[in-house]
Chains A and B, each alone.
Chain A
Amino acid sequence: MNNRVNPGFKKELQKFGMSEQWNECFHCGNCTAICPLSENEVLFPRKGIRVIQMGLKDKLASYVEPWMCYYCGECSETCPRDANPGELMMTLRRYLTSVYDWTGMSRKFYTSKWWELSYILFFALLVIVLFLIYLPLRPDAYLMVNESGGVMLNHLVAGISGDQFIRIIEFGDWAMAIIVAFILVSNILNMFYKIILSNKSFKVPFYAYFTEFWRLIYNFVTQSKFSKCDDKNYWVGHMLLMTGYTTMFILVVVALPAFQTEKVVDWYNWQRLLGYYATFGILFFLTVVTIGRIRKKDIKLQYSHSTDWLFIIMLGLTTITGIVLHIFRLAGLPAATYYMYILHLAILVPMIMVEVPFSKWSHLAYRPFAIYFSRLKQVALSKQYSTGLAPAI
């Protein structure tokens, strides 16, 4: 590991969000002491600040700690120098996402708005063009209304049957999922290499890989770490978003034929109820966060990176087009439903392609693995420290 100091590094980091405010830090350690999640051998956020001040890039790449932080903001409130360590952890998560991503796309998106916008626009246009050319609206679409008055969504395309349409969309879903998963998995392996394998300061005992894996699953299900944070409202919002988003994901990818049905099922059927729950969860989160980011009262929402806004806008547009689509469908407007469906996908697809492997959503994958890796590190280090050396806070 290269341990050469690098004064220029802070400029690089600035592009991922925070200005040099963290440089106010005088290393009192209050933040680490107050942090409800910092614990032996995985101490943060103070140490991370020091690593950045010195510009130790390699050390930072192997730094798992930012993923342990759920941004409760307590450290930033406690810091006597207003160095805002909580926001720094957020900035570091963005930075680390770009470090793990071997394709380099993540870095481009975080450091340049224009890159991200062009990329999104490209996928949006691709979706629109593909639909208009290969899946055009059938001329007699106005007939595709069933007896209950709802639009028969799967029968709007010319030349193919409803079953075929579902299969095509399903194929697209899976193709997208596989690409995204491939990138994510390879990035996680890269992350594993950087945090565990390349770090010579500790050696993970082999058995720990198994014992800690079970712990990871337990933690993931109970979210016991997160519940240590004092701000329970934030936790609720976060949970609503996560469950809503996951529900939606399962509905449209895994259970598409059951979700996107021919008939408009009655409102109390499970598909619709789940869909409503997911929509509500996402909308609720979006409203709270948008208001928060505009008001800037809550410390963790004071600083917004351009990618934060883009994420909110994309998710918001996806949700709104989804709702409008649903209304058109219920109202029995086949052409409007069709075009809204395309628009919905033209926003959803680029959002998934950007956010899941390269940006905000990727932390859904990185975080549980980071917890796993940090447990490995903890086990390794506590074994080492039991022989004498104690770490600084």
Chain B
Amino acid sequence: MEEPRIGVYVCWCGTNIEKVVDVAEVAKAMEKLPNVVLSKNYKYMCSDPGQDLIIKDIKENNLNRIVVSACSPRIHELTFRKTLEKAGLNPYLLQMANIREHVSWVHDDKKAATDKAKSLVAAAVTRVNHHEELQKRTVDINPATLIIGGGIAGLTAALEIADAGKKVFLLEKTNHLGGVVAGIDQSFPYFDSAQQIIQQFIKRIKQHENVEVLLNTKAENITGYVGNFKMPLPMLGIDAELEFGNIIVATGLKPYDPSAIREYGYGYLPNVITSLEFEKMLMSGKIETKDGKTPEDILIIHCVGSRNKNCHEYCSRTCCMTALKFATQLRSALPKANIYQAYADMRSFGKDCEELYLKASQKDIMFLMYDQQKYLPEIRRAPNREKCEMLVEIEEILSGDMVEVPADLVILMTAMEAHEDVKDVARTVGVSLCGNDFFIERHPKLDPVATTTDGVFIAGTCQAPKDIPDSVAQAKAAAARVLSSIDVGQVEIEVTTAFTNEDLCCGCQTCISVCPYKAIGFNEENRVSVVNEILCKGCGTCSSACPTGAIRTRHFTDKQIMSQIEGMLSMTKRKSKKTELEV
């Protein structure tokens, strides 16, 4: 290998770094390190003149390694890799040192910060000596798509992709399509019929030549990688298999079972029902108690199972609006009834939702505020002498009074929560779940439909509770992402992957058990582990677990890591004998 010729660039980031770190001093200190040809500081390295400076230096000084000491590589590593490419260098011959997030933004002692920055940059310099050229790879994309979940999100995405002329497999674990929306009467905030919307979708899906609907089917045993996934269909024969290039997960959420909340008596008080049960009542056109009487006093309780440490801490987001929808529907169906809403903060964001709240609040509905963390309303059967079925005690917090509400019907606005089998789905598609068992998006703001697994997208409420418009929007976005990847036809895959040195491998299979992406297979014939480099994310877990050092991760080799540590310590060596001894 040719002799390393390293260029070091210390960025000011305007005043972001410069006001805490003495950038000139850092740059100067790097000049002394072996193989460093030049070391400079500049106001904005990521700007065009900053990048041009690097390109010019590479060409004029024959540089073949670059260290940029600036912000986090998450922000600009790609930028500078492209810079290297422009100058004709392999992009992996770059190393970044983060002296903004790790130094200037978190320290204020200029001297100490400058010392720390020196250590970090020195580490990058010693590491970059050992960088190797890595080559990009691409794979072809299978134009078929698997959609898991036949709710409104899944249906929307399926139609979007099928209408573009691409094949869709739509998996639904129940025996019917439509998801939660299939059980809703009218939808907020415009009171249009949810049935009309969803039935139209279902009809089109069933007739669509590009869509294959698989009812009573769960997503299981999916293998493969972006562009080339497979899923066996054992019920259709041993070899039956679906092949597809992308996956959209749209498994939605299910209603929380409120019988766990003692105060509400759900399950043994016959006239305490859930929001979905009330939707059913609305669809049947008859609002009545279990005895067939028209209710005179109706109480709607918000946040059942939501926003409480004992159930779910998150807000289910659509129940406030659904409750206002119910109150409005009740008012027109039963003009004389007394309608009460026990709420804990009214959340009516979204287009025309605050307006619905305003309208509902003018319909003679009594709003009672309670503390959903501390004092839940308590429902009990009313004694015989009372006209109503139940009495509800509520600690009303706007007045500070304990009040009693008569009720013939109580509607619990139950939370929406993950399906029991969501972990299985998550495992089979290789996507992580957050603490609430919602699928995690690649980036909460900048990439809300992709996941960290290439070729797997999420849409609808499986990502977090949301209403129909948001679910549909996300489904369309996911479909667009899938279509664009089909259109490109190929996809670039990770190059910083693991690989095995078969001579060193003892076949213990430790790596297979630790790989979170199921990227390692076992070659029975040679009794060695083999990395599927398309599945491998380069996380490095296997390399650190391997007892023989047979499996290594490109760009994170032992040599690179050790040299980085040495470089880091080299700056403090002279000052502290102790560190030297310990090392």
Give every chain A residue within 8 A of B400 (Cβ-Cβ): 47, 391-392
Is A326 close to B, CB under 8 A? no
In addition to A4-B405, A47-B399, A50-B396, 8 A-B residue pairs with Cβ atoms within 8 Å of each other are A5-B340, A5-B403, A7-B364, A47-B400, A54-B403, A391-B400, A392-B399, A392-B400
Give every chain A residue within 8 A of B398 (Cβ-Cβ): 27, 50, 392
**Do residues A51 and B399 form an inter-chain contact, with CB atoms below 8 A?**
yes
From A7, A59, A392, name the one whose CB has the most chain B CB atoms within 10 angstroms. A7
13 contacts between A and B (CB under 8 A): A4-B403, A4-B405, A5-B340, A5-B368, A5-B404, A5-B405, A54-B366, A54-B396, A54-B401, A54-B403, A56-B403, A59-B401, A392-B400
Interface 1/0s, chain A 71-109, versus B by CB < 8 A? 000000000000000000000000000000000000000
Is A53 close to B, CB under 8 A? yes
Interface 1/0s, chain A 3-23, versus B by CB < 8 A? 111010000000000000000
Interface 1/0s, chain B 369-403, versus A by CB < 8 A? 00000000000000000000000000011111111
Interface 1/0s, chain A 51-76, versus B by CB < 8 A? 10111100100000000000000000
Is B406 close to A, CB under 8 A? yes
Give every chain A residue within 8 A of B364 (Cβ-Cβ): 7
Is B338 close to A, CB under 8 A? yes
Q: Which residues of A line the B interface, CB within 8 A? A: 3-5, 7, 27, 47, 50-51, 53-56, 59, 391-392
From B366, B398, B402, name the one whose CB has the most chain A CB atoms within 10 angstroms. B398
Chain B residue at smallest Cβ distance from A25:
B398
**Do residues B404 and A4 form an inter-chain contact, with CB atoms below 8 A?**
yes
Chain B residue at smallest Cβ distance from A392:
B400
Interface 1/0s, chain B 77-97, versus A by CB < 8 A? 000000000000000000000
Kindly identify, within residues 216 to 238 of chain B, every residue whose CB is under 8 Å from any CB belonging to chain A: none
From A5, A50, A53, A59, name the one whose CB has the most chain B CB atoms within 10 angstroms. A5
Give every chain B residue within 8 A of A56 (Cβ-Cβ): 399, 401, 403
Chain A residue at smallest Cβ distance from B366:
A7
B337 → A minimal CB distance (Å): 10
B402 → A minimal CB distance (Å): 6
Kindly identify, within residues 305 to 353 of chain B, every residue whose CB is under 8 Å from any CB belonging to chain A: 338, 340
Give every chain B residue within 8 A of A51 (Cβ-Cβ): 399, 401
Q: How far is the CA of A4 from the CA of B392 in the complex (A)?
A: 10
**Do residues B399 and A4 form an inter-chain contact, with CB atoms below 8 A?**
no
**Do residues A53 and B406 form an inter-chain contact, with CB atoms below 8 A?**
no
Q: How far is the CA of A89 from the CA of B406 in the complex (A)?
A: 28
Q: How far is the CA of A207 from the CA of B338 in the complex (A)?
A: 46
A328 → B minimal CB distance (Å): 57
Total B residues in contact with A, Cβ cutoff 8 Å = 16
Q: How far is the CA of A59 from the CA of B396 in the complex (A)?
A: 14
Q: How far is the CA of A5 from the CA of B297 in the complex (A)?
A: 11
**Do residues B338 and A54 form an inter-chain contact, with CB atoms below 8 A?**
no
Q: How far is the CA of A50 from the CA of B403 in the complex (A)?
A: 12
Q: How far is the CA of A5 from the CA of B338 in the complex (A)?
A: 10
Given A5-B340, A5-B368, A7-B366, check contact A54 B399 (CB 8 Å): yes
**Do residues B366 and A3 form an inter-chain contact, with CB atoms below 8 A?**
no
Given A53-B366, A54-B366, A54-B368, check contact A3 B399 (CB 8 Å): no
**Do residues A3 and B338 form an inter-chain contact, with CB atoms below 8 A?**
no
Q: How far is the CA of A119 from the CA of B368 in the complex (A)?
A: 42
Give every chain A residue within 8 A of B338 (Cβ-Cβ): 7
Q: How far is the CA of A1 from the CA of B403 in the complex (A)?
A: 11
From A3, A47, A56, name the one whose CB has the most chain B CB atoms within 10 angstroms. A3
Partner of B403, one of A3, A27, A391, A392: A3
Chain B residue at smallest Cβ distance from A389:
B400
Give every chain B residue within 8 A of A55 (Cβ-Cβ): 366
Interface 1/0s, chain B 258-293, versus A by CB < 8 A? 000000000000000000000000000000000000
Q: How far is the CA of A271 from the CA of B7 in the complex (A)?
A: 110
B128 → A minimal CB distance (Å): 60
Give every chain B residue within 8 A of A27 (Cβ-Cβ): 398
Give every chain B residue within 8 A of A53 (Cβ-Cβ): 366
Q: How far is the CA of A50 from the CA of B404 in the complex (A)?
A: 15
Chain A residue at smallest Cβ distance from B364:
A7
**Do residues A3 and B406 form an inter-chain contact, with CB atoms below 8 A?**
no
Chain A residue at smallest Cβ distance from B340:
A5
Give every chain B residue within 8 A of A3 (Cβ-Cβ): 401-404
Give every chain A residue within 8 A of B396 (Cβ-Cβ): 50, 54
Give every chain B residue within 8 A of A391 (Cβ-Cβ): 400
Q: How far is the CA of A56 from the CA of B368 in the complex (A)?
A: 13
Kindly identify, within residues 396 to 436 of chain B, every residue whose CB is under 8 Å from any CB belonging to chain A: 396-406
Chain A residue at smallest Cβ distance from B369:
A27
Q: How far is the CA of A51 from the CA of B403 in the complex (A)?
A: 10
From A3, A54, A55, name the one whose CB has the most chain B CB atoms within 10 angstroms. A54
A142 → B minimal CB distance (Å): 68
**Do residues B366 and A5 form an inter-chain contact, with CB atoms below 8 A?**
yes
Give every chain B residue within 8 A of A5 (Cβ-Cβ): 340, 366, 368, 403-406
Kindly identify, within residues 147 to 164 of chain B, every residue whose CB is under 8 Å from any CB belonging to chain A: none
Q: How far is the CA of A50 from the CA of B340 in the complex (A)?
A: 14
Q: How far is the CA of A392 from the CA of B403 in the complex (A)?
A: 16
Give every chain B residue within 8 A of A7 (Cβ-Cβ): 338, 340, 364, 366
Q: How far is the CA of A313 from the CA of B340 in the complex (A)?
A: 44
From B338, B364, B399, B403, name the one whose CB has the most chain A CB atoms within 10 angstroms. B399
B97 → A minimal CB distance (Å): 52
Nearest 10 pairs of A and B residues by beta carbon: A50-B399, A4-B404, A7-B338, A27-B398, A50-B398, A3-B403, A392-B400, A5-B403, A7-B366, A3-B404
Give every chain A residue within 8 A of B366 (Cβ-Cβ): 5, 7, 53-55
Give every chain B residue within 8 A of A54 (Cβ-Cβ): 366, 368, 396, 399, 401, 403
A33 → B minimal CB distance (Å): 15
Q: How far is the CA of A6 from the CA of B340 in the complex (A)?
A: 10
A61 → B minimal CB distance (Å): 14
B359 → A minimal CB distance (Å): 14
A6 → B minimal CB distance (Å): 9
Q: How far is the CA of A51 from the CA of B368 in the complex (A)?
A: 11
Given A53-B366, A54-B368, A54-B396, check contact A4 B401 (CB 8 Å): no
Q: How far is the CA of A381 from the CA of B399 in the complex (A)?
A: 16
Q: How far is the CA of A192 from the CA of B338 in the complex (A)?
A: 33
Partner of A4, one of B368, B397, B406: B406
